[in-house]
Chains A and B, each alone.
Chain A
Amino acid sequence: MTSTENDRKKNRYHFDRHTPEYRPQFAKITEEMLEKCPVAWTDTYDGHWVAAGSKEVFELARCPAVSNHHDLTGETPYKGITIPTAKRSSGVRGGMLEMDDPEHRTYRNVLNPYLSPAAVARWEPFIDETVRACLDEKIADGQIDFVDDLANIVPAVLTLAMLGIPLKKWAMYSEPTHASVYTPEDSPDIERVLAMHREMGIDLLTTMVEIRDHPRPGLMNALLQMTIDGGPAPDLEILGMLGLIIGGGFDTTTALTAHSLEWLSGHPDQRELLSTDRDGLLDPATEEFLRFFTPAPGDGRTFSKDVEIEGNRFKEGERLWISWAMANRDPAVFHDPNEVVLDRKGNRHFSFGIGVHRCIGSNVARTVFKSMLTAVLDRMPDYRCDPDGAAHYETIGVIQGMRKLPATFTPGTRVGAGLDETLGKLQRICDEQELARPITERKEAAVID
């Protein structure tokens, strides 16, 4: 390495977020990096930059010389948002999250009218009814697993509804989507997970063909109908977009909900406070849980030009990890960054990303989270999570998630039908009221009969 190279990479930090040791050391690593090297070079995974500081993350995420593009030929250094490049992802780009403008914008414009705040608000009665059914399945038992019985189900059901996929298939989509995030590629369970993933992929393709022949409202139809460069979008790009919507729609909201419910169980006084002052606290508490738990902890990028930012000189082709999770703990922006402060002010957190790639599902995430949280506070107000049964993802390099969160509570009474019956009813309502139409075509909220 030349002396200029050494000079450029003088801030070094051994950073490996994929090891099991990373999770318990996250706060310590973050403090060290923020204090000593808010941008550092690490030799892990063929070498890449890591941005931890809030200022650096803010500038890099908005920098036009920082690219999301993923070149599947592997002939250029553009490797998209994953570090290291996942074996499974080769063959399909990760939808618009692995595109730059103007291509990214073309796809994003197609999705926007389905996912804007106004578009998502129409789904609230549908979401509340799904949540109600999930809780009714367990309310008389006095025990529930908040991951398996609630937080895995609701985001999956809603995402399928928005796509135009039958709701009853939620389990076929949910299990492989979560399992492929937390199952390492060398795990003995990986073959089973991959088989489930293939089954989901085949169903996705079959549904694509079906909707192409017989259009029905939803995100999948929108992607099939769109035009780019004067023609339809390539099937592989549509598949990448669908993978992004499913991956982004399922695991992240589950992760946020499970962590928040676990934290509230451990802080009953704060839970009481939140429950009694929902008008004042539900919004800021949701943002604070987003900041503190950062379900999607970061994204990879590639420099597309030589550029200098905040005194750091980067070279074209170098890879970069932008850590939303570490920026979210920067004391320069957040006082007492390692504390959960339910009524935090000025909470300009990084959890949905910064810049043109802001999480397009952010409105869905907040709405689904709030519905699940408030229903639990209403119907299981004294719930207690079992610390021995709680299972966090062993590695949090991709998603800071949970696999299990068992809890007990004082049993209550059912107020409606169970999940299967409810999903049958919601499917009929989806079809009759054409809920999956974009906001430009349908303004009214869902009506649950």
Chain B
Amino acid sequence: MASEVSMPRLSDSMEEGTVLKWLVEVGGQVKRGEPLVEIETDKANMTHDADADGVLVEVLAQEGETLAVGEAIARIGAEGEAPSGGGAEAGGSGEAEDEPSAEQEAEPGTGGGEAEPGAGVGEPSRERERRPEAAEPDPDVRPTRDAASGAGRLKASPVARRMAEEKGVDLGSLEGSGPGGRIVKADVEAAEGGRQKPEAAGDGGGEGEQAEAPEAEEAAAAGVQPKTAPASGEGGPKGEPEVQELTRLQRTVSRRMAESKATAPDFALSLDVDMTLCIELRERLKEQTENAPSFNDMVVKAAALALRDHPRVNSAYRDAKFELYPRVNVGVAVAAQGTLVVPVVRDADEKSLGEISRQARRLIGRVRDGEITPPELSGGTFTVSNLGMYGIESFTAIINPPQAAILTVGALAKKAVVDDNGRVVARDMMNLTLVCDHRILYGADGAEFLAAVRKLVEAPLSLAL
């Protein structure tokens, strides 16, 4: 009896996932715990392991397809077992399997916020080993899907069926947007519209002229192929735009940022900190280690210590309630994969400066390599964002909802400062700006916190206590 593989919940906020790559061919051997499929969630790309031993009998979700959590994506069975001919009857039976489903049930906990690095961290190397053989499009896969849609029941409304037949649109190639994934009239119309567009554009410019987006390479590295669709017709004064579909990550960022700006009444507090002693400390640490903590690591550590004493900053405004968090988990904003990712240093207040530095370095590397997993991105209670390396002196950031505040770090620069004796001297200064959600964090509270951070940064030995 074949068991079904359903779209796993790989992060606590995941509602649907996109199949990026099948790592096993149809008919290939599957081993429980071995990588089976690469899935893009709202937070990251992840490799999902098989829940059972056997043979990959049938792939129900093709690469690029997006399905809701819990929907069947493949079937694993005994060797020689025939494909069922569609998910129709199998659709609701996800709970019928004993072992695999129990495994899946347990899975959401993995993304639930508690650190469970073991499982997630080990995988990517195996994933990379697997990648080359699965890189080519698998010729076996598509016929299976066609067979499935033929023998089983493809959900399409009567009018969609009639129109598809009239217009010669292959219903099997469409994704239904109606209730229960039913293909409806609008889907057929969209498919027809989409088919005509490239032809029209073909007159205007050859395929070769289509500029490759700079992000395309990064996205491809992350396993995401941004779909580009040239707009038809003459370009107009702006020239012919290249239209890019957002990756799931980019969609998440755009949604959350807009949500934050639209809902959080924010204000910013800004001050410069004297970095003289930090620079001195770092010079000395450099003598001890190749990977001395950066100034950003020092800010993270200082913020973490200050957060412990300022619970309102280490909290969230959610549904007209304050949520104060007992743990101090500081997220570090990282630009990568053509988007923004915030890996989290958990319990940063309890970690030494060296530990924070090593962990941040490792997390940032994993983001850049596209190996970061949802658990490493979840559970943040506060965020630090740094654009100092670009020479930005000071800036405000958008609060990472539902957190109460975000701290931005500017560039380290020599500035003219009036010292205690009234003389103008050059000092190494760095700007810190705290953007607060006024629903939970008021001016005086934010200012007190920021002053505490300054005090710690200006006396960096305190970071070692």
Q: Do A and B come from one complex?
A: no
A residues with CB within 8 A of B: none
